[in-house]
Amino acid sequence: MSEKVKIEMEFEVNSSTSVLFNMISTPSGLSEWFADDVNIKEDLFTFIWDGAVQQAKMIGRKKGESVKFQWLDDQEDGLKTYFEFTIKVDDLTNDVALLITDFADSDEVEEAKRLWGNQIQDLKTTIGSF
């Protein structure tokens, strides 16, 4: 297995911060764009894609600003990796952006960036951000 590297991306999203925060922090919001289905029990989120199941623990949350998750597989492997969604509002223009921090194997960085780009397109379509 190659070493995991940190990836940081920023996507402009034409949305109110409250709608965007709902889409990144709740099972109903995440199931509209991030996964086929999302369930929650306490701080444990279960993500389902085409029948494949992956679990992540919410390890951080700032209301209206950001959420941070860690995949249980990574946690069990002793990795300090996570994925985080952070909402950023430009002070001058009030433009809203979604910052994504993730980790990927060094040989899969470009693939991970493409996947996130596709996911964000799904998010924008869902909330009507064009």
Q: What is the spatial distance between Cα 87 and Cα 67, in angstroms, rounded to a whole number?
A: 9
DSSP state letter for 1: -
**Which residues, at least 6 apart from 85, have a Cβ–Cβ distance to it below 8 Å?**
24, 25, 66, 67, 68, 98, 99, 100
Tell me if 69 sits within 8 A of 57, measured CB to CB.
Answer: yes
CB 14 within 8 A of CB 130: yes
- Token look-up 């911060």 returns 17
Q: How far apart are CA 83 and CA 25, in angstroms?
A: 12
Give residue 3's pLDDT: 81
Q: What tens digit of pLDDT does each residue of 15-47 get?
A: 999 999 999 999 999 999 999 999 999 889 999
Residue 5 contacts by C-beta under 8 Å, 6 or more apart in sequence? Answer: 103, 104, 105, 106, 109
- Tell me the pLDDT tens digit for each residue of 91-112: 999 999 999 999 999 999 999 9
pLDDT, residue 129, reads 81
> Residue 1 pLDDT > 60, yes or no?
no
Q: Pick from 107, 127, 116: which is nearest to 20 by CA?
A: 127
Is the torsion defined by CA of 101, 103, 126, 33 positive or negative? negative
Architecture per CATH, domain 4-127, reads as 2-Layer Sandwich (3.30)
